[in-house]
Amino acid sequence: MGSKYFLVAALMLVALVHADQNQTGFLSIDCGASTSNYIDATTGFTYVSDEGFTENGVNRVIADAYKVQVNEQQFWNVRSFPEGRRNCYTLKPTLGKGTKYAVRARFMYGNYDNEGQPPTFDLYLGVDLWDTVITQYPWFRVEKEIIFFPTEDRIDVCLVNSGYGTPFISVLELRPWNTQSYNVNETGSVLVNFGRYDLNPAINQVSRYKEDVYDRLWSPFTTDIWTPINTTSGDNITKNIYQVPSPVMSNAYTPNATSKNLGLVFTPGNSTFKFYFYLHFAEIQLLQANESREFNIYVNDDLSQGPFVPSFLETTTIISRSDSVSSDGKIYIWLNQTKNSTLPPLLNAVEFYRITELSQLGTDQTDVNAILNIKSMYRVKRNWQGDPCLPEAYLWDGLNCSYNANNPPRIISLNLSSGGLEGLISSYIANLTMLQSLDLSNNNLTGTIPDFLAQLSFLRVINLKGNNLKGPVPAALLERSNNGLSLSVDDNVLGNQKLSPPTNETSSSPRYSCSKDFFVPLFASVGGIWLHFIL
């Protein structure tokens, strides 16, 4: 069986008990909405348009027949992405990268395109596959939530067309969470929510902010096979670091009268998945002197915790882990009454999380910052979204990168030929220190050729033809053209300067890089003929 462990979280944190109901660091985006912000009547959140968070896509409205079925305004619109294989939202958390966040993406198809074909597509967090979005029915709401520490000050959430319909999104939300809760032992791993349930809720609807200070969505779970119990003293239930809302902890289920055990069956869908289960308990019945409630907690056939006695009006969270499934592909969680107990077990709330490993090795951050500044300066009109180099299938148009398993990818080729560029040659190019090939030909660039190009030590090809540049060419750059650099500029830029003729190395023979980890296409101009090389 897989390894299991437990953590009992009953620590009271005064700062959390008196947690302020503010929205610091919260970001709520109504995707596809108009540019007008609005305050949600239920939560009090200010929802903003997604303009400025993504560059592509079109705003659409769901069909009236489905609009009347949902009272959350955020689902009335969607942003659809019929163009491009990958389209991304870029979030910049106000609290920075030192904070734990939950990112939640929500989807409701609502037959917005009148096609009646709910799509399936992939959802990425940065360079890593987060999950697959399957919208089975027009009225079906899909919610994806992931808890993690970002390593940079920006978070990219990307929708990828996998060939099964046009990706879309309804809502995108960012919520800062307590850094002491929902932790994972493995470095680089995160938690993907698989379900969060309020057992025996007083009202059969989703519970969230303001009852929940972290704005978790608690889905109601009701059944006739268990016995419901509740208390009117819910406001007196002491909270722990997980801050489960009082209305959620005020209700619970116990087994029916003929059983002493309470069981949950969970089907993960993939036998290789690993899970954390967060079980939230509070005794909400005042027991008599001759009564006791004590039980053991099993995951599949293994004892996870016990014997356990829930405390009266005090939340205790027990975390169990499963690294494997039973022989039938399911995970069983059993709360079994002990021999010394006069009462059966109870359960107030439960959460399921899949443990997912993130590579975290996106493109070198210096390169990312440089290429984003180049994009901004020149107002590049290409689908440059998400990570520039990863995943490799979605490499930015005009770039080539080096890939090494032990190091982040580096940008080694930049081709913005005929890109409508105007102004000076960007100084941000100097920060692409691994650049081997630079093609800025056939644009409207002005000014002189900067000295920093000669200091890019790996640069082997520069093409600046077809611009409005002025001479002279920096002496250091001319010197490098004598030592293997292929430099192409217009004659008027050279003036009386002499450009070294291309050698066999730079014009007619394939040139191989000393690194086996990448290749880059190089181009050199010889007498009006373009030669293509593969390193």
Confidence at 227, pLDDT banded by 50, 70, 90: very high
Over the chain, what is the mean pLDDT? 88
Q: What is the mean pLDDT of residues 408-433?
A: 97
Rounded distance between C-alpha atoms, residue 257 and residue 272, angstroms:
37
Higher per-residue confidence, 222 vs 2: 222
CB 435 within 8 A of CB 426: no
Residue 515 clears pLDDT 80, i.e. is over it:
no
Rounded distance between C-alpha atoms, residue 106 and residue 122, angstroms:
13
Residue 207 clears pLDDT 60, i.e. is over it:
yes
Q: Which of 226-235, 426-435, 475-484 is modeled with the greatest confidence? A: 426-435
Q: Which of 36-40, 217-221, 344-348 has the lowest mean pLDDT?
A: 36-40
Q: What is the mean pLDDT of residues 69-81?
A: 95
pLDDT attached to residue 516: 34
Rounded distance between C-alpha atoms, residue 307 and residue 311, angstroms:
13
Confidence at 269, pLDDT banded by 50, 70, 90: confident
pLDDT attached to residue 370: 97
Rounded distance between C-alpha atoms, residue 401 and residue 410, angstroms:
5
Structure tokens at 327: 């022989």
Structure tokens at 493: 């830029």
* Pick from 336, 292, 178: nearest CA to 244: 178
Q: Which of 225-229, 295-299, 499-503, 506-510 has the lowest mean pLDDT?
A: 506-510
Residue 179 clears pLDDT 60, i.e. is over it:
yes
DSSP string, 105-117: EEEE-TTTTSS--
Residue 410 clears pLDDT 70, i.e. is over it:
yes
CB 170 within 8 A of CB 77: yes
Q: What percent of the chain has pLDDT over 90?
A: 75
Higher per-residue confidence, 278 vs 3: 278
pLDDT attached to residue 391: 93
pLDDT attached to residue 268: 87
Q: What is the mean pLDDT of residues 55-76?
A: 95
The pLDDT tens digits for 334-389 are 999 999 999 999 999 999 999 999 876 899 999 999 999 999 999 998 989 999 99
Residue 535 clears pLDDT 80, i.e. is over it:
no
* Pick from 164, 154, 113: nearest CA to 134: 164
Rounded distance between C-alpha atoms, residue 322 and residue 317, angstroms:
16
Question: Does the domain made of 365-493 have the CATH classification 3.10.20.30?
Answer: no
pLDDT attached to residue 358: 87
Confidence at 13, pLDDT banded by 50, 70, 90: very low
Q: CATH 3.80.10.10 occupies which residues in the chain?
A: 365-493
pLDDT attached to residue 5: 36
Residue 125 clears pLDDT 90, i.e. is over it:
yes
Residues 6+ apart with CB under 8 A from 378: 416, 419, 421, 422, 423, 426
Q: Tally the residues of the chain.
A: 535
Residue type, 383: N
The pLDDT tens digits for 323-336 are 988 888 899 999 99
Rounded distance between C-alpha atoms, residue 253 and residue 221, angstroms:
10
**Strand, helix or coil at 303?**
strand
Rounded distance between C-alpha atoms, residue 149 and residue 165, angstroms:
31
Q: What is the mean pLDDT of residues 72-81?
A: 96
pLDDT attached to residue 511: 34
pLDDT attached to residue 136: 93
Q: CATH 2.60.120.260 occupies which residues in the chain?
A: 27-177
Domain 193-357: give its CATH architecture: Sandwich (2.60)
Side-by-side strand order, sheet with 128-134: 86-91, 155-164, 120-125, 128-134
Residues 6+ apart with CB under 8 A from 48: 27, 28, 29, 30, 37
Question: How big is the chain by its Cα radius of gyration, in Å?
Answer: 29
Residue 524 clears pLDDT 50, i.e. is over it:
no
Residue 492 clears pLDDT 90, i.e. is over it:
no
Q: Which of 128-142, 225-239, 283-297, 512-526 has the lowest mean pLDDT?
A: 512-526
Q: Find how far residue 505's CA is from the centre of its chain.
A: 45
pTM, to two decimals: 0.85
The per-residue b/e assignment along 302-335, b for 16 or more CB within 10 angstroms, e otherwise, is eebbbebbbebbbbbbbbbbbebbeeeeebbbbb
Confidence at 72, pLDDT banded by 50, 70, 90: very high
Domain 27-177: give its CATH architecture: Sandwich (2.60)
